[in-house]
């Protein structure tokens, strides 16, 4: 069975270009078994299928975000039609599309406490195709520092899990 591995953000990846600074980043890579699958399809394969407990975590996060006057998009409000072509500035599920090119889709959002980007980067080397999902965060204030301290353990587990679920289900 193909395994997701923690990796470095690919050098050709442009995830850092729209942030003033990067205070946190991580990356997870997985092999791709569907030749030619693009970054938008990978995004849907990974982010359109969260486990039910993740939906509950996002509900709790929503309550906390509302109490702290932070942005929050509810999963129920983030629905979209699979297979839709994205454009910069539109919402793609929970996140806004920041950049699109042949091998990469970057989504994210900016808020008072932090700005974040998620890159879905598609690569090929020696005939082996892979996808790397990277997250980069710019912390803007103390609330952002506290928020990252609270969610970092969940994020690291969840990022790997969501990608592994897509691999295991044959969606990649």
Q: What CATH number has the domain spanning 15-166?
A: 3.30.530
State the pLDDT confidence band at 128, using cuts at 50, 70 and 90.
confident
Quote the pLDDT of residue 36.
85
What's the whole-number mean pLDDT along residues 29-34?
Answer: 93
Top-confidence residue, 120 or 69:
120
Domain boundaries, the chain: 15-166
| CA distance linking residue 138 with residue 64, whole number of Å | 20
Share of the chain above pLDDT 90, in %: 58
| CA distance linking residue 32 with residue 2, whole number of Å | 9
Element (DSSP H or E) covering residue 172 = none
- How much is the pTM? 0.86
Q: Alpha carbon of 86 to those of 17, 80, 122, 139: distances in Å? A: 19, 11, 16, 27
Share of the chain above pLDDT 70, in %: 81
| CA distance linking residue 132 with residue 119, whole number of Å | 8
| CA distance linking residue 147 with residue 165, whole number of Å | 26
pLDDT in tens, 44-77: 999 888 777 766 666 666 666 666 666 655 444 4
For residues 80 and 94, the answer to whether their CB atoms sit within 8 Å is no
Top-confidence residue, 94 or 41:
41
Residue 137 confidence (pLDDT) above 90: yes
Residue 101 confidence (pLDDT) above 60: yes
| CA distance linking residue 113 with residue 91, whole number of Å | 20
Quote the pLDDT of residue 77.
44
The rounded mean pLDDT for the chain is 86
For residues 61 and 75, the answer to whether their CB atoms sit within 8 Å is no
Quote the pLDDT of residue 69.
62
């Amino acid at each position: 069975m193909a395994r997701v591995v923690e990796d470095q953000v690919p050098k050709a990846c442009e995830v850092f270009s729209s942030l003033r600074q990067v205070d946190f980043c991580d990356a997870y890579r997985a092999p791709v078994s569907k030749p030619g699958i693009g970054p938008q399809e990978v995004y849907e394969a990974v982010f359109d299928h969260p486990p039910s407990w993740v939906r509950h975590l996002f509900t709790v996060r929503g309550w906390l975000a509302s109490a702290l006057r932070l942005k929050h998009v509810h999963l129920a409000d983030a629905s979209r039609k699979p297979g839709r072509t994205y454009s910069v500035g539109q919402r793609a599920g929970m996140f806004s599309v920041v950049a699109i090119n042949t091998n990469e889709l970057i989504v994210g959002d900016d808020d008072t406490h932090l700005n974040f980007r998620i890159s879905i980067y598609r690569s090929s080397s020696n005939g082996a195709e892979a996808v790397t999902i990277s997250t980069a965060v710019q912390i803007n204030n103390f609330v952002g520092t506290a928020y990252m301290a609270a969610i970092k353990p969940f994020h690291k587990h969840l990022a790997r899990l969501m990608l592994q679920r897509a691999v295991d289900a044959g969606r990649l």
